[in-house]
Chain A
Amino acid sequence: MQKKSLVLLILLIFVSACNKKEILYVQETPPSEPYPEQTEQIDIAIVPKVMEIPYFQAVQQGVEEAAKSSGATVHFKGPTTADPSQQEEIIRTFIKEKVDVLAVSVIDPDRLSPVLAEARRQGITVLTWDADAHPEARDYFINMVDAEMLGEHLLDSLAAQIGEEGEYIILSGSQSSLNQEEWLHWIKQHNRAYYPNLILQEVAYTNDNPVTAYQESKRVVKAYPDLKGIIGIASLGPPAAAAVLKEENVSDDIVIVGLASPRDMNEHLKKGDVKGITLWSPKKLGFLTVMIAKLMQDGTEIEDGMFIEDVGRIQVKGEQIIMGEPIDFTADNVDQYDF
């Protein structure tokens, strides 16, 4: 009897180890993809150079798309004319409103850098896009394209159309615009290196004003009778120049290349007055700016080759984020773009 119970006891010990879920090891699950806490609403302020021109309107569309997909609150406000003091005022208002991120297309870096630096001091993440401020005044500059590549591309396009010789002028936005000045620098550099017979006669400025653009275009066309080409490196340049050429009936003699919205150039391209125009997608730029602002606010490190949803891979060079390659618009594809 007691023998039986003893055997039973021993059996019990043996059996007790079997047939149940015995957890051996629990590995700590790596935190699932850093999901941003959506509890705090992020305020992002986007300040363009000027409100009512097609380029920045397209940017605004992209910004709104991005606001929808990222869930951030985005404020889009710029001066009515490209006036640095007006822009400064808008920036100050945003600083007072204590936005989380301030993204500015800087009209005049010399005038606006101090206020941006102040915004930074107050803990606001400061980005510049489209046009840069002085580096110490911002965290990142979101550049559309690589400046060197763009400058070379524009000059190459012109040279190909006019046969690598003759006079040309450049229509820039303003002297204070750092990236336009950089493009200009690369154009000149490229000119010196490869096209000895191409002569840059003048750099004219539109001041981001359609009227000034028109007037300047008219002036240069008249001033240089042997003019073969115009490179517009501010988006208002090429449309104004094309209109002037049309008026003067010299569309076939003078070639226009440069940066402009395809919508503005649609007619000129289709009629053959202008063969090709270059730009990036301002929508994409607006979208990317908001996404970068959001990522930075979430604490994500911005890395070279990073993939941004609906944008693609970005390049990061120091404190510069480069969106991608420029798009060439021709009569064939201009209808596909709605900006």
Chain B
Amino acid sequence: MILQRIMWINMIFKKKFRNLSLMHKLLLSYTLLTIIPVALLGFFIYTAYIKAAEEQIGTLVPQMLEQASQQIDRNVQDVTNMPERLYQSQQMIEILRQDSFQSHAEAMQQQYVMERYLSSSFLHSSSSDLLGVFVFSKNRVFAATAKSYSGFSKSEAAVYGQSLELEKGSMILLPQDTNLVFENNADYLLIGVPLQDRDNQAYLGTMFLALDVAFVDRITGTIKEHNAARIMLLEKDSGRIAYDSKSEKSDQIVPEDFYPIENGSFLQDGKLIGITPAIQQDYALIYEIPTEKLFAKQQQTRTISIVLFLLFIIFSVCLYTLVAYNVSQPIKRLIANMRSVQGGKFQQTLPVTKQDEVGRLTESYNHMIIEIRDLIQKNYMIRLKQQEAELYALQTQINPHFIFNTLETINYAVEAGEQEEVINIITTLGRMLRYSLDNGVKFVSLTEEIRHVEDFLSIQQFRFQDRLTWKTDYPDPGISTDVQVPKFILQPIVENSIKYGLETKTSIHIDIKIHQTPDMLILTIKDDGPGFDPTVKTELEEELSLEPGITSKSAHYGLSNVSNRIKMLYGNNYGVSLENNQKGATVRLYLPFRHVSERGSLDAEFANHDR
């Protein structure tokens, strides 16, 4: 399940990663390869360190506790052995052997002697922590205490004096077990030891020694570490706490299974707890210390390390961002440049600032761009020159057929003796030849162009007589002289009309009209011939819509040549349109409306285009 999930995450991750930008990829790889391993390493080292420290302390604490426990054992054992002192005094044993049936004076005397002995040899003889000593024997109580007390009166003598007879051996009672209370509510362990008449092997009574639990405090003082730790002495069977370094009196009962082990250490609720059996395994010595106090220094170190690590991350990410930026930025620039090249701008090359891979790439790219630019220019020039040559050829071309026909017409006229007409034709022909010989001039005024067409038409009329009629119509003759048009744009079209018209019909009429809109000049050549054949017309229209410069050498060379020249000079907004009207064909030429004064600039524009 988890594996699946991881794979799924992985897949998404891969997909996402692939689509990231180079800079993000670099940053991400850096994070993955540097920061995460370092962070994980740091984390694991810290964890392992703390674990090791815990284990070390965990081993130390029980050993420490065991020492303390042994000391406690020894203390308790010492106190348990204290009644031996009573046996050293024959007198005391004799007092205890006495029955309680005696005179009051004698009893009081014995009481005095016994209590004085207890006081001197038990309470004052050693630096023990005894709060008091009690001897219960045959309905008598002998008591010597260091602190005033209540309870443990004669009425209990019978109970405690006899209760131990059967058990033999010592026992330990807690304050809750008896009604003995010392002043200040001092906590104590009450150690009961049976007294035996050894010579007679008979029971004498019971001695209770109240041991101040403060001795545990003294013994464990060295391991308490500035009171951070809590030390408890717990009676195992009942779960009662005999001693607690943190709270004075506690009636709290600790459940039996609260501690998972008998001897050792463990972690629980953020505390390190050590436990070791004490006092004949009946008690447990417990040591509790919050781990945060135990590891205060380590935690401080950890905090500092984390802060330093964060600073390192911030610093290194900044640095790396800079590096990544330096790598990706030139590439981005390259991309932007390539885009602009796609848009046809070959002008810009990129500055090469570095000698690394990116620098070399930029350099090669620059080379490439320059190469491409040069190639384009070269090709372009060649093509232009070609076209120019073709145009020139066209310009200078006066159809030999036409000349032949014209000469034949002149011949007929001479034969017919129409001298005036001959002179007329020759003059017109001469003007036409001069017009086409006028080399180097590409633009002429509209008037000149129209007169040339009129010359052409009048020569044709000489030949075809009534079969050809024509009419030119221009609204404002003043404009015609001002307006500039390319040379030879009307003649090819008129030539076509005559050619196709007279092939099928006996006569033809050609109408030439000049229109003028605010920014456009429209020349309309209308005939009443057969019109365009539909298939030819579509072919032609297709050809006309092509980019200028790509010229096919088709049969309709004249028409497409005109269209090309217009487009090349003025752009695709201008050109030639074809139409079939009800009588014949209409061809329209669309030209910009330009004045003579702009002629220079037009030339300049063309020249510019040339280069």
Q: How far is the CB of B534 from chain A (nearest CB, A)?
A: 66
Cβ contact of A22, chosen from B5, B62, B169, B266, cutoff 8 A? B266
* B269 sits at the interface (CB 8 A): yes
Residues of A near B265 (CB, < 8 A) are: 23-25
Cβ contact of A337, chosen from B62, B200, B269, cutoff 8 A? B200
- Cα distance A61–B200 when bound, in Å? 9
* A249 sits at the interface (CB 8 A): no
Cβ contact of B201, chosen from A25, A32, A283, cutoff 8 A? A283
Residues of A near B84 (CB, < 8 A) are: 307, 312-313
User: Is A27 in contact with B264, judged by CB distance below 8 angstroms?
Assistant: yes
A3 closest partner in B (C-beta): B9
User: Is A24 in contact with B263, judged by CB distance below 8 angstroms?
Assistant: no
Chain A 1-20 interface mask (CB, 8 Å, partner B; 1/0): 01001100000000001111
Q: How far is the CB of B148 from chain A (nearest CB, A)?
A: 33
User: Is A2 in contact with B272, judged by CB distance below 8 angstroms?
Assistant: no
Q: How far is the CB of B53 from chain A (nearest CB, A)?
A: 10
Contacts A69-B168, A283-B199 known; A24 to B280 CB distance under 8 Å? no
User: Is B198 in contact with A24, judged by CB distance below 8 angstroms?
Assistant: no
Cβ contact of B269, chosen from A19, A28, A33, A338, cutoff 8 A? A19
Contacts A25-B59, A61-B201 known; A33 to B280 CB distance under 8 Å? yes
User: Is B58 in contact with A327, judged by CB distance below 8 angstroms?
Assistant: no
User: Is A28 in contact with B263, judged by CB distance below 8 angstroms?
Assistant: yes
- Cα distance A6–B12 when bound, in Å? 13
User: Is B264 in contact with A25, judged by CB distance below 8 angstroms?
Assistant: yes
Contacts A21-B266, A25-B264, A29-B277 known; A281 to B199 CB distance under 8 Å? yes
Contacts A32-B280, A310-B198, A312-B198 known; A27 to B263 CB distance under 8 Å? yes
* A333 sits at the interface (CB 8 A): yes
- Cα distance A19–B66 when bound, in Å? 27
Residues of A near B8 (CB, < 8 A) are: 2
User: Is B9 in contact with A2, judged by CB distance below 8 angstroms?
Assistant: yes
User: Is A336 in contact with B97, judged by CB distance below 8 angstroms?
Assistant: yes
Q: How far is the CB of A269 from chain B (nearest CB, A)?
A: 16
Q: How far is the CB of B588 from chain A (nearest CB, A)?
A: 67
User: Is B94 in contact with A333, judged by CB distance below 8 angstroms?
Assistant: yes
Residue with the greatest number of chain A CB neighbours at <10 A, chosen from B57, B169, B200, B202: B200
- Cα distance A19–B267 when bound, in Å? 9
Contacts A23-B264, A29-B263, A33-B280 known; A339 to B200 CB distance under 8 Å? yes
Cβ contact of B198, chosen from A22, A26, A281, A333, cutoff 8 A? A281
User: Is B94 in contact with A24, judged by CB distance below 8 angstroms?
Assistant: no
A338 closest partner in B (C-beta): B200
* A118 sits at the interface (CB 8 A): no
* B563 sits at the interface (CB 8 A): no
Residues of A near B268 (CB, < 8 A) are: 20-22
Which B160-218 residues have C-beta < 8 A from chain A? 168-169, 196, 198-202
Residues of A near B66 (CB, < 8 A) are: 27
Residues of A near B198 (CB, < 8 A) are: 281, 284, 310-312
* A164 sits at the interface (CB 8 A): no
Residues of B near A280 (CB, < 8 A) are: 199
User: Is B169 in contact with A309, judged by CB distance below 8 angstroms?
Assistant: yes
Q: How many A-B residue pairs have CB under 8 A?
A: 98
Residues of B near A327 (CB, < 8 A) are: 199
User: Is B261 in contact with A26, judged by CB distance below 8 angstroms?
Assistant: yes
Q: How far is the CB of B405 from chain A (nearest CB, A)?
A: 89
Residues of A near B264 (CB, < 8 A) are: 23-27
Which A171-210 residues have C-beta < 8 A from chain B? none
Residues of B near A264 (CB, < 8 A) are: none
Q: How far is the CB of B351 from chain A (nearest CB, A)?
A: 41
Q: How far is the CB of B54 from chain A (nearest CB, A)?
A: 6
Q: How far is the CB of B77 from chain A (nearest CB, A)?
A: 10
* A83 sits at the interface (CB 8 A): no
User: Is A65 in contact with B201, judged by CB distance below 8 angstroms?
Assistant: yes
Residues of A near B281 (CB, < 8 A) are: 29, 32
- Cα distance A23–B161 when bound, in Å? 45
- Cα distance A18–B269 when bound, in Å? 8
Q: How far is the CB of A9 from chain B (nearest CB, A)?
A: 9
- Cα distance A339–B199 when bound, in Å? 9
User: Is B9 in contact with A337, judged by CB distance below 8 angstroms?
Assistant: no
B57 closest partner in A (C-beta): A24
**How many residues on the A side are at the interface (Cβ–Cβ under 8 A)?**
39
User: Is B9 in contact with A25, judged by CB distance below 8 angstroms?
Assistant: no
- Cα distance A298–B168 when bound, in Å? 20
User: Is A26 in contact with B9, judged by CB distance below 8 angstroms?
Assistant: no
* B262 sits at the interface (CB 8 A): yes
Residues of A near B97 (CB, < 8 A) are: 336
User: Is B81 in contact with A307, judged by CB distance below 8 angstroms?
Assistant: yes
* B87 sits at the interface (CB 8 A): yes
Chain B 245-267 interface mask (CB, 8 Å, partner A; 1/0): 00000000000000011111111
Cβ contact of B62, chosen from A18, A27, A32, A283, cutoff 8 A? A27
* A140 sits at the interface (CB 8 A): no
Which A231-267 residues have C-beta < 8 A from chain B? none
* A287 sits at the interface (CB 8 A): yes
B200 closest partner in A (C-beta): A338
- Cα distance A337–B272 when bound, in Å? 59
Residues of B near A69 (CB, < 8 A) are: 168
User: Is A24 in contact with B201, judged by CB distance below 8 angstroms?
Assistant: no
Residues of A near B272 (CB, < 8 A) are: 24
A22 closest partner in B (C-beta): B267
Residue with the greatest number of chain A CB neighbours at <10 A, chosen from B61, B63, B267: B267
Residue with the greatest number of chain B CB neighbours at <10 A, chosen from A23, A280, A284, A309: A23
Residues of B near A65 (CB, < 8 A) are: 201
Residues of B near A26 (CB, < 8 A) are: 261, 263-264
Residues of A near B81 (CB, < 8 A) are: 307
User: Is B5 in contact with A5, judged by CB distance below 8 angstroms?
Assistant: yes
A18 closest partner in B (C-beta): B270
Which A297-337 residues have C-beta < 8 A from chain B? 307, 309-313, 327, 333, 336-337
B65 closest partner in A (C-beta): A27
* A151 sits at the interface (CB 8 A): no
* B586 sits at the interface (CB 8 A): no
Residues of A near B276 (CB, < 8 A) are: 27
Residues of B near A17 (CB, < 8 A) are: 47
- Cα distance A61–B61 when bound, in Å? 51
B87 closest partner in A (C-beta): A312
B169 closest partner in A (C-beta): A309
Contacts A24-B58, A25-B55, A283-B201 known; A310 to B196 CB distance under 8 Å? yes
User: Is A23 in contact with B261, judged by CB distance below 8 angstroms?
Assistant: yes
Residues of B near A33 (CB, < 8 A) are: 280
Residues of B near A18 (CB, < 8 A) are: 270
* A62 sits at the interface (CB 8 A): yes
User: Is A23 in contact with B260, judged by CB distance below 8 angstroms?
Assistant: yes
Residues of A near B47 (CB, < 8 A) are: 17
Which B52-77 residues have C-beta < 8 A from chain A? 54-55, 57-59, 61-63, 66
Q: How far is the CB of B156 from chain A (nearest CB, A)?
A: 25
B276 closest partner in A (C-beta): A27
- Cα distance A327–B93 when bound, in Å? 13
Residues of B near A2 (CB, < 8 A) are: 8-9, 12-13
A26 closest partner in B (C-beta): B264
- Cα distance A337–B202 when bound, in Å? 10
Q: How far is the CB of B46 from chain A (nearest CB, A)?
A: 12
Q: Give 10 new A-B contacts, CB below 8 A, not counting A23-B267, A25-B58, A69-B168.
A: A5-B5, A5-B9, A25-B55, A25-B264, A28-B263, A283-B200, A283-B201, A284-B198, A333-B94, A338-B200
* A–B Cβ pairs within 8 angstroms, 6 of them: A24-B272, A25-B266, A61-B201, A310-B196, A312-B87, A312-B198
| B residues in contact (CB < 8 Å) with A | 5, 8-9, 12-13, 47, 54-55, 57-59, 61-63, 66, 81, 84, 87, 94, 97, 168-169, 196, 198-202, 260-270, 272, 276-277, 280-281
| A residues in contact (CB < 8 Å) with B | 2, 5-6, 17-29, 32-33, 61-62, 65, 69, 280-281, 283-284, 287, 307, 309-313, 327, 333, 336-339
**Top 10 closest A-B pairs, CB basis?**
A24-B58, A281-B199, A26-B264, A25-B58, A23-B266, A22-B267, A27-B62, A310-B196, A27-B263, A283-B201
